[in-house]
């Protein structure tokens, strides 16, 4: 069983849960930028949650299933023919699945029953856009193998997660909030930010209220996590996503919660983003 | 001091690279953490339960720690780098002396970053602390042996790079097909040998 990429859209990659346990060797975690959407898509077609699927950026893809396939689409909602979002559907042998541009959000996940199979690198099939590990981004003509289904098809329609073009996400303060002026964290939470054009799987670059440092000098390189809000000297924050570098030298003023990070991963250039302190500190 | 990093990670301030390596070695004996990332003055610990980890780490901090048992790796270097003469001029010494001081440096892999398998080797002879190139090269081959600032490194794979090239090695420092893909891990002692 295979799926052939007729057109990948603006940017499409294979993603699973990423590479765990290699950050100290300079290897980014990578994996789906919106992990809950990958999990849901896999559940809908009876795959293990961590099976590899296709992550589309701005949709626009056409896929052909030589011998047919069960497919589920989650994440950024987009028109699809045949089928639709948040429910498994069958693509008949030889038929093409056409996915348009999403109505909202950025990343649409395409899970296929059996899961995408490419040679794993360090335990993951994910494309890492920063280090180049894993398969290259998908191009027209790429043929991907599929694995064996693990579970039966049980779900009919899953509840959809609303996508916001202007979310306010929760942030845990620190670890380097003391590198900023006294009101630095308050400034971040009161600030209005927009997503910049040069955002990608490494991070969402923001423009808006600048965060001023309380001290000069450089922070020695230290470990980084997904969701970290790193602030370069120009004061414009960057929220790290899946392909973030495992270490960095700019101070992190706060970290977006695990539950809210997928909202950040679905933002398009130009969208608004706000921050608020996590309830309970 | 131990700082919280989001909901699921801790940043332990160690104050020194040697202390980072000692803590890293101890924490690696625990199996329920996802990542342990040593840095020059910190160790990031991802995963595990903070309420259990914090007292444990505080206890480790105060316990006498044995030296992290870094193995020693010898790297055979052909000193034919494009920047060798420039480095000699910047340091005000001969090319032969550059080679002697590079091979005479007692390196330790401090931490990895920039690219998978790229180890920042500390311990470079201070006379060889030179600035990075003003204009980074768009392509540096795998195995290039280079210096910049207080560090030396072996490029694990072809990549752009702004470090000054002293030579190259045929020793592979990065193999993604291996369970232990990096030859140079935090704490590994390294000696350059003219080949």
Structural domain span for residue A43: 2-146
Residue A225 lies in a domain: yes
How confident is the model over A31-52, as pLDDT tens digits? 999 999 999 999 999 999 999 9
B150 interface with A at CB cutoff 8 Å: no
B116/A133 Cβ within 8 A: yes
Burial of B62 (0-12, 13-18, 19+ CB in 10 A): exposed
A121/B116 Cβ within 8 A: no
Report the distance separating Cα B32 and Cα B88, nearest Å.
49
Specify whether the CB–CB gap between A86 and A75 falls below 8 A: no
Residue A160 lies in a domain: no
Q: Give percent of chain A with pLDDT exceeding 70.
A: 99
A26 interface with B at CB cutoff 8 Å: yes
Domain boundary among A93, A114, A146: A146
Answer yes or no: do A172 and A126 share one domain. Answer: no
B111 interface with A at CB cutoff 8 Å: yes
Domain boundary among A98, A116, A146: A146
What's the pLDDT score for residue B62?
Answer: 56
What's the pLDDT score for residue B63?
Answer: 56
Give the phi and the psi of residue B150 in degrees, each rounded to 5. -90, 10
How confident is the model over A103-124, as pLDDT tens digits? 999 999 999 999 999 999 999 9
Quote the number of domains for chain A: 2
* A280: Cβ contacts below 8 Å, ≥ 6 apart: none
User: Where does the pLDDT of residue A24 fall: very low under 50, low under 70, confident under 90, or very high at 90 and above?
Assistant: very high
A257 interface with B at CB cutoff 8 Å: yes
Q: Parallel, antiparallel, or unpaired for β B189-194 and B72-77?
A: parallel
The interface residues of chain B toward chain A in range 4-63, judged by CB-CB distance below 8 A, are 4-9, 11, 24, 34-44, 46
* B195: Cβ contacts below 8 Å, ≥ 6 apart: B76, B77, B78, B169
- The residue of chain A with its CA nearest to that of B178 is A122
Q: Which parts of chain B have pLDDT scores under 70?
A: 61-70
A178 torsion bin: left (phi>0), alpha (psi -120 to 50), beta (else)? alpha
Nearest to A122 among B4, B8, B181 (CB): B181
A221/B5 Cβ within 8 A: no
What's the pLDDT score for residue A151?
Answer: 84
What's the pLDDT score for residue A245?
Answer: 96
For an interface test with B, the pick among A18, A25, A132, A253 (most B C-beta atoms closer than 10 Å) comes out as A25
Specify whether the CB–CB gap between A111 and A72 falls below 8 A: yes
Answer yes or no: do A246 and A199 share one domain. Answer: yes
Residue A156 lies in a domain: no
The CATH number linked to A205 is: 2.40.100.10
Sign of the CA dihedral running B170, B176, B179, B184: positive
Answer yes or no: do A22 and A90 share one domain. Answer: yes
Report the distance separating Cα B102 and Cα B96, nearest Å.
10
A93 interface with B at CB cutoff 8 Å: no
Closest CA to B75 of B125, B115, B121, B114: B121
What's the pLDDT score for residue A122?
Answer: 97
Closest CA to A226 of A245, A207, A209, A208: A245
What's the pLDDT score for residue A157?
Answer: 78
Query: A157 to chain B nearest CA, in Å?
Result: 32
Residue A151 lies in a domain: no
What's the pLDDT score for residue A281?
Answer: 59
The token pair that represents A51 in the structure block? 């099976």
B46/A23 Cβ within 8 A: yes
What's the pLDDT score for residue A236?
Answer: 96
What's the pLDDT score for residue A162?
Answer: 81
Report the distance separating Cα A225 and Cα A256, nearest Å.
10
Beginning with the edge strand found earlier in the chain, give each strand of the sheet holding A116-117 in spatial order.
A80-81, A96-99, A61-64, A2-7, A143-146, A116-117
A172 interface with B at CB cutoff 8 Å: yes
Identify the bridge partners of residue B5 per DSSP, sorted by sequence position.
Answer: B9
CA distances from B61 to A50, A60, B55, B108 (A): 37, 54, 10, 22
Closest CA to A16 of A28, A30, A3: A30
Answer yes or no: do A11 and A124 share one domain. Answer: yes
Answer yes or no: do A179 and A94 share one domain. Answer: no
The token pair that represents B62 in the structure block? 């105060």
Cβ contacts of B35 on chain A, cutoff 8 Å? 20-21, 23-24, 223, 246
Residue A158 lies in a domain: no
Answer yes or no: do A108 and A183 share one domain. Answer: no
Report the distance separating Cα A129 and Cα A139, nearest Å.
15
Q: What is the DSSP letter of A246?
A: S
Residue A6 lies in a domain: yes
Cβ contacts of A20 on chain B, cutoff 8 Å? 34-35
What's the pLDDT score for residue B81?
Answer: 97
Please determine, for residue A139, whether its predicted confidence score (pLDDT) is greater than 90.
Answer: yes
Specify the residue for token string 């028109």: A79
Give the phi and the psi of residue A194 in degrees, each rounded to 5. -125, 150
Please determine, for residue A75, whether its predicted confidence score (pLDDT) is greater than 60.
Answer: yes
Residue A126 lies in a domain: yes
Answer yes or no: do A23 and A64 share one domain. Answer: yes
The distance of Cα A201 from the centroid of its chain, to the nearest Å, equals 6
Query: B118 to chain A nearest CA, in Å?
Result: 7
Answer yes or no: do A118 and A213 share one domain. Answer: no
What's the pLDDT score for residue B30?
Answer: 78
Q: What is the DSSP letter of A261?
A: H
Report the distance separating Cα A26 and Cα A16, nearest Å.
19
Q: Which residue has the higher pLDDT, B54 or A22?
A: A22
Specify whether the CB–CB gap between A251 and A230 falls below 8 A: yes
B160 interface with A at CB cutoff 8 Å: no
The CATH number linked to A103 is: 2.60.120
B46/A223 Cβ within 8 A: yes
What's the pLDDT score for residue B66?
Answer: 54
Nearest to A25 among B5, B7, B117 (CB): B117
Answer yes or no: do A79 and A43 share one domain. Answer: yes
Specify whether the CB–CB gap between A62 and A97 falls below 8 A: yes
Q: Give percent of chain A with pLDDT exceeding 90.
A: 89
Answer yes or no: do A226 and A127 share one domain. Answer: no
Answer yes or no: do A62 and A122 share one domain. Answer: yes
Specify whether the CB–CB gap between A54 and A159 falls below 8 A: no
Query: A68 to chain B nearest CA, in Å?
Result: 33
Give the phi and the psi of residue B119 in degrees, each rounded to 5. -95, 130
Specify the residue for token string 């206890």: B59
Please determine, for residue A268, whether its predicted confidence score (pLDDT) is greater than 60.
Answer: yes
Q: Is A87 helix (H, G, I), strand (E, B) or coil?
A: coil
Residue A163 lies in a domain: no
* Range A195-210 average pLDDT: 97
Nearest to B176 among A121, A174, A278 (CB): A121
pTM for this prediction: 0.95
Query: A73 to chain B nearest CA, in Å?
Result: 29
List, in order of start, the domains of chain B with CATH numbers.
2-62 (3.30.1360.40), 72-194 (2.40.100.10)
Report the distance separating Cα A87 and Cα A242, nearest Å.
26
User: Where does the pLDDT of residue A154 fall: very low under 50, low under 70, confident under 90, or very high at 90 and above?
Assistant: confident
- The residue of chain B with its CA nearest to that of A249 is B39
Nearest to A220 among B39, B46, B118 (CB): B39
Answer yes or no: do A47 and A175 share one domain. Answer: no
How confident is the model over A210-254, as pLDDT tens digits? 999 998 888 999 999 999 999 999 999 999 999 999 999 999 999
Query: B184 to chain A nearest CA, in Å?
Result: 9
């Amino acid at each position: 069983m295979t799926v052939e990429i007729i057109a990948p859209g603006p940017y499409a990659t294979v993603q699973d849960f990423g590479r765990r346990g290699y950050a100290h060797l300079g290897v980014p975690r990578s994996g789906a930028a919106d992990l809950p959407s990958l999990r849901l898509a896999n559940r809908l077609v009876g795959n293990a949650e961590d099976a590899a699927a296709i992550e589309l950026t701005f949709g626009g893809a056409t896929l052909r299933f030589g011998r047919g396939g069960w497919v589920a689409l989650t994440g950024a909602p987009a028109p699809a023919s045949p089928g639709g979002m948040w429910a498994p559907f069958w693509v008949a042998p030889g038929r093409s699945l056409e996915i348009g541009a999403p109505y909202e959000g950025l990343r649409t996940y395409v899970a296929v029953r059996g899961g995408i199979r490419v040679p794993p690198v360090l335990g993951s099939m994910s494309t890492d856009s920063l280090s180049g590990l894993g398969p290259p981004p998908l191009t027209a003509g790429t043929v991907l193998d599929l694995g064996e289904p693990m579970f039966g098809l049980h779900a009919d329609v899953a509840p959809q997660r609303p996508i916001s073009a202007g979310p306010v996400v929760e942030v845990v303060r620190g670890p380097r909030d003391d590198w900023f002026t006294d009101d630095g964290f308050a400034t971040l939470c009161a600030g209005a930010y927009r997503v910049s054009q040069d955002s990608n799987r490494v991070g969402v670059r923001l423009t808006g209220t600048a965060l001023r440092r309380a001290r000069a000098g450089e922070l020695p390189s230290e470990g980084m996590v997904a969701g970290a809000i790193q602030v370069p000297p120009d004061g414009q924050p960057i929220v790290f996503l899946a392909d973030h570098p495992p270490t960095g030298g700019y101070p992190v003023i706060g970290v977006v919660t695990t539950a809210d990070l997928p909202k950040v991963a679905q933002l398009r250039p130009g969208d608004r983003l706000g921050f608020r302190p996590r309830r309970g500190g | 001091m131990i700082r919280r990093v989001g909901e699921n990670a801790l940043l332990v301030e160690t104050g020194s690279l040697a202390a980072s390596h000692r803590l890293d070695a101890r924490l690696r004996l625990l199996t329920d953490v996802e990542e342990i990332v040593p840095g020059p003055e910190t160790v990031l610990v991802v995963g595990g339960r903070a309420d259990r980890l914090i007292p444990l780490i505080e206890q480790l901090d105060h316990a006498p720690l044995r030296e992290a048992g870094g193995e020693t790796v010898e790297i055979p270097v052909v000193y034919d780098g494009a920047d060798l003469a420039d480095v000699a001029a910047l340091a005000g010494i001969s090319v032969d002396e550059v080679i002697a001081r590079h091979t005479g440096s007692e390196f330790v892999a401090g931490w990895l970053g920039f690219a998978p398998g790229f180890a920042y080797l500390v311990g470079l002879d201070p006379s060889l602390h030179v600035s990075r190139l003003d204009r980074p090269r768009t392509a540096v081959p795998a195995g290039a042996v280079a210096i910049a600032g207080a560090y030396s490194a072996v490029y694990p794979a072809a990549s752009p790079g702004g470090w000054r090239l002293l030579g190259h090695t045929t020793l592979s420092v990065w193999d993604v097909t291996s369970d232990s893909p990096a030859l140079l891990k935090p704490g590994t002692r390294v000696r350059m040998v003219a080949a």
